[in-house]
Amino acid sequence: MKLWGGRFEAETDQLVEEYTSSIGFDQRLYKYDIQGSIAHVKMLAECGILTYEERDQIIAGLEEILEEIEAGDFEFEIGLEDIHMNIEQRLIDKIGSVGGKLHTARSRNDQVALDMRLYLRDQIEAIQALIEKLQQVLLELAEENIDIIMPGYTHLQRAQPVRVAHHLLAYYYKLKRDYDRLEDVYKRTNVLPLGAGALAGTTFDIDRQFVADELGFDGVSQNSLDTVSDRDFVIEFLAASSTLMMHLSRFSEELVLWTSQEFDFVDIDDAFCTGSSIMPQKKNPDVPELIRGKTGRIYGHLMQLLTVMKGLPLAYNKDMQEDKEGLFDTVDTLKGALELFARMLAKTSFNQIKLEATAEDGFTNATEVADYLVEQGLPFREAHEVVGKTVLYCINEDKKLSELELEEWQNFSDRFSDDIYQKIDIETAVDARDSVGGPAKEEIKRAITAEKKECQ
């Protein structure tokens, strides 16, 4: 017998049952479904819709069901379609017809919206905690490597020298915004949908605020049609997750590049790499590669749900059952990536000799030379031209700027004198960039101290 069987004369086709059932994946919501139901019956009793005795019987039954599920003793049935009806049917089997009173003044439409919000709330908090862990690793790594200078790039061409710590902090701040975006999603997720009923509220004199307080929601939703047709909070979460994953993917891409023999900037610990089945010399950066690769599925889930929702008339439509698998996969993928990334990064070392040799090569101090001429009174555009010619000369002569004799400098401008050598020293060049947010050691130290304080 189906919970909704009264109106039907024929049995559901077996294939239809399998096709429409969501129990295979929505069983993940069991804890929230039970938590929501308990709050609901408490309210029903407070409002005089159920007796306190009925309430206690139902709560005791639900608590036993929770234990059964956690012990692995619960048999989920496809014929009961979803987690909501699997639990409700089990309750009726256990405590008899009083179990049938649980669904008073409620629909699966507001129930599923509630479960999803309760689930997502928890997951947002768990993901935020993982972001914080990764940020912590970044701060520590920045501090440990503050002395190492590396080339900064634009167009993947060596541009100006920075510090490794500066590069690491760049990701720290991206993650900080990701954290804030999730905080914002949380605010809109943390609104109680229960009480919207199937679409048009309920005739019972319920107390929605009571349920909101019971479950820790900031407020109650204000339009029943909106409430049961809304999956914005999931879409927003998927969008924030996509952005977060995009950041991890860019960082991963850099690690893949940097571990190549061509760059040789970093070494990822053996524990986080894998070998080749045929080439004995290989040590492959599989972890960052996979994180980069898994970014695609999260973008996919965002597009999938946007597409599911775009043509739906109000209010609930069965299409909306398709909101779950993508969300669950996003949560799993994100958590896996964040956790692994933090652990891998903590065990990643920087090749100071190679990084600094590269930073000194490729004329990354050419801007310093132009700035030098500007300090001697030359307009910047003219200085740019002079230094361009000097660099061209160096390329033809196969020399670094620091290897030029003073007479060679003076062939390009008589404004050059001996102090040019100090000006173009890489460390001097980096530490002179001490404007707010710059790569100078003092500025980085200030940033690390400020962020550490905020994290406490």
Where along the sequence are the contacts to ligand ARG (CB under 6 A)? 22, 26, 82, 108-109, 112, 316, 318, 320-321
Q: For ligand ARG, which is the closer residue by CB, 321 or 390?
A: 321
Dist CA 206 CA 217 (whole Å): 16
Q: Pick the catalytic residue from 22, 84, 103, 155.
A: 155
Reading the block at residue 73, the tokens are: 């003793």
103 catalytic residue (yes or no): no
∠ CA(274), CA(276), CA(277), 5° rounding? Answer: 125
User: Which DSSP helix (H) or strand (E) runs through 164?
Assistant: helix 164-189
Dist CA 86 CA 225 (whole Å): 26
Q: For ligand ARG, which is the closer residue by CB, 41 or 113?
A: 113
Q: For ligand ARG, which is the closer residue by CB, 108 or 301?
A: 108
Picking from 61, 27, 52, 95, the residue whose alpha carbon sits closest to that of residue 328 is 27
To the nearest whole angstrom, how small is the minimum distance from the Cβ of residue 59 to ligand ARG? 23
To the nearest whole angstrom, how small is the minimum distance from the Cβ of residue 58 to ligand ARG? 20
User: Which DSSP helix (H) or strand (E) runs through 267?
Assistant: strand 266-268
To the nearest whole angstrom, how small is the minimum distance from the Cβ of residue 97 to ligand ARG? 23
To the nearest whole angstrom, how small is the minimum distance from the Cβ of residue 315 to ligand ARG? 10
Q: For ligand ARG, which is the closer residue by CB, 29 or 139?
A: 29
To the nearest whole angstrom, how small is the minimum distance from the Cβ of residue 433 to ligand ARG? 54
The amino acid at residue 160 is Q
To the nearest whole angstrom, how small is the minimum distance from the Cβ of residue 185 to ligand ARG? 20
155 catalytic residue (yes or no): yes
Q: For ligand ARG, which is the closer residue by CB, 172 or 316?
A: 316
Placement of tokens 């692994």 in the chain:
340
Which residues have a Cβ under 8 Å from the Cβ of 381 and sit 6 or more positions away?
none
Reading the block at residue 306, the tokens are: 């946007």
Q: Pick the catalytic residue from 276, 349, 402, 417.
A: 276
Q: For ligand ARG, which is the closer residue by CB, 189 or 252?
A: 189
> Which runs of consecutive H residues, i.e. helices, occur in 310-351?
324-346
Whether 195 contacts 211, CB under 8 Å: yes
Placement of tokens 């929702």 in the chain:
309
- Calculate helix-pair angle for 232-259, 164-189, nearest 10 degrees: 170
3-class DSSP state of 256? helix
Catalytically annotated residues: 155, 276
